[in-house]
Chain A
Amino acid sequence: MPRLDPESLPAHVDRLYRAAWALCGSPHEAEDLVQETFVRVLARPRMLRGGAGPPEAAQLAYLMRVLRNTFLNSRRTASRRPQVAATLDEVDAADSRALPESALEAQELYGAIAELPEDFRLALVAVDVVGLSYAQAARVLGTREATVTTRLHRARRRVVASIDGPAGETVREGSPSPRSLD
């Protein structure tokens, strides 16, 4: 059973950050989530299971599993706390960096993903954002590969419809499209 090499983990920070952003819908929360994930992973030596395939893939799968668990734990913790609405000042202070256009586009896309039901969101993040195979995603998410496939299809459909609007839904089943008028 190979050992998780801490020195190879920083290579996955960007991908984990995007995954975290898509999970929670906020770049600021994503930073905390990624940091918490790496702190947990680096707290002690780890062994990688299910070592079929390249080590990078096993590392990503492991990181995705810890990210998912950290995210779900934080959501459960947050649901037990009284909710306090952030003020505009707090929002400004939370991220003083000017967001470039790409970050604004990212916010739109990751925000749409974050609005998905949790199971759909996790499937899309595991496969499309992190890049796991369907089989790896099924192991990480604790479900069957067929379930991942179904959730992924529905998640993608919803996000495309959300981003592209009516034009992106022209081939949607059960709804008339401009071409169907012919």
Chain B
Amino acid sequence: MDSVPEHPDEARTVQDERRIGELLAAVEVPAPAALSRAIIELALKPPPARRRRRRTPVLALAGGFAAGIVLALVLKGGPAPPTVLRVSTVALARATGPAPRSLVAAGTSIAFPQWSARGWPTRGARRDSLDGRTVTTEFYSSYRNGMLGYAIVSGAPLKLGAGWHAVTLSATRYELTSAAGAQVVAWVQDGHTCVLASRTASAATLLALAVAQDGGAPV
């Protein structure tokens, strides 16, 4: 390939152009379904907070303020309902120890995925008790996208609360919201609430990871 001439003649130029066209036309592979759906949903359905702000700015501001108060109360250990938003504060906290090679969430049979091949190696884990529920969280970090926490809650699915935006992908309903500068994606898997939360990664990134690991399939 190094001996390719500097000035190809016109006949060859036409021949190469035609040949490249044939080659590319033969391999018009579509984008993976999960990627397409994540981008479609992201593009077609903006976060509800943005839409609510346009329609009822005062209510939206009040809602955001209330969410901030809830988060602050939770971080201080104050009383708060056992909602998914509360779990997300744990997912946004720090790891308390290293993560074992294969971690199964307490009270469930759900194993945390290995996302190192996707650029998200494990960075630690923690276990918390919230109102009688055990929350097992594994943390992942990415050079480009910072840190995220993946929390799995024992027991029956938790209440979502208000201000969530539903997206159904691969027959699974994912709920998205943003609060206190963090993106949160929640869904129910094997009868348990799963929560991905990050202050640095986008909702699309969280959603793509959630979709990719749904059902315990390797990522």
A interface residues, Cβ below 8 angstroms from B: 6-7, 9-10, 13-14, 16-18, 21, 27-28, 31-32, 34-36, 38-39, 42-43, 74, 77, 81, 86, 90-94, 96-97, 102-103, 105-106, 109-110, 124, 128-129, 153-154, 156-164, 168, 171-175
Q: Please tell me if B24 contacts chain A, counting CB pairs below 8 Å.
A: yes
In the complex with contacts A77-B143, A105-B26, A173-B5, A7-B35 CB distance below 8 A: no
A32 to B20, CA, bound (A): 26
Nearest 6 A-B pairs (CB), nearest first?
A17-B31, A106-B27, A156-B16, A94-B117, A173-B5, A10-B40
- Pick from A13, A43, A164: contact of B35, CB under 8 Å: A13
Q: Please tell me if B131 contacts chain A, counting CB pairs below 8 Å.
A: no
In the complex with contacts A7-B44, A96-B218, A31-B117 CB distance below 8 A: no
Contact A93 B218 (CB under 8 A): yes
Q: Which residues of A contact B28 (CB under 8 A)?
A: 14, 18
Q: Please tell me if B4 contacts chain A, counting CB pairs below 8 Å.
A: yes
Q: Give the residue name and chain of the B residue nearest to A120 (CB).
A: B4
- Pick from A14, A16, A17, A174: contact of B5, CB under 8 Å: A174
A97 to B195, CA, bound (A): 25
A97 to B32, CA, bound (A): 10
In the complex with contacts A18-B29, A157-B4, A13-B36 CB distance below 8 A: yes
Q: Which residues of A contact B6 (CB under 8 A)?
A: 154
Q: Please tell me if B129 contacts chain A, counting CB pairs below 8 Å.
A: no
- Pick from B11, B16, B219: contact of A157, CB under 8 Å: B16
List residues 1-49 of chain B with CB under 8 A from any CB of chain A: 1, 3-6, 8-9, 11-13, 15-17, 19-21, 23-24, 26-32, 35-36, 38-40, 42-44, 46
Contact B39 A35 (CB under 8 A): yes
Q: Please tell me if B83 contacts chain A, counting CB pairs below 8 Å.
A: no
Q: Please tell me if B114 contacts chain A, counting CB pairs below 8 Å.
A: yes
Q: Identify which of B61-69, B87-95, B200-208 touches chain A.
A: B200-208
Q: Which residues of A contact B26 (CB under 8 A)?
A: 102, 105
Q: Which residues of A contact B114 (CB under 8 A)?
A: 93
Given contacts A39-B204, A109-B24, A160-B16, 10 further A-B contacts (CB under 8 A): A10-B44, A31-B35, A42-B204, A77-B144, A86-B117, A90-B117, A96-B217, A154-B4, A154-B6, A172-B3
The interface size of chain B toward A, counting residues with CB under 8 Å, comes to 48
Q: Which residues of B contact A129 (CB under 8 A)?
A: 24
Q: Give the residue name and chain of the A residue nearest to B219 (CB).
A: A93
Across chains A and B, the number of contacting residue pairs, with CB separation under 8 Å, is 145
Q: Which residues of A contact B54 (CB under 8 A)?
A: none
Q: Which residues of B contact A94 (CB under 8 A)?
A: 117-118, 219
Q: Which residues of A contact B109 (CB under 8 A)?
A: none
Min CB distance B214 to A, Å, is 13
A161 to B205, CA, bound (A): 38
Q: Which residues of B contact A13 (CB under 8 A)?
A: 31, 35-36, 39-40
Contact A10 B8 (CB under 8 A): no
Min CB distance A19 to B, Å, is 11
A5 to B81, CA, bound (A): 39
Contact pattern, B 49-85, Cβ under 8 Å of A = 1, otherwise 0? 0000000000000000000000000000000000000
In the complex with contacts A105-B26, A174-B3, A174-B5, A38-B43 CB distance below 8 A: yes
Min CB distance B196 to A, Å, is 15
Contact A38 B16 (CB under 8 A): no
Min CB distance B2 to A, Å, is 9
Contact B19 A162 (CB under 8 A): no
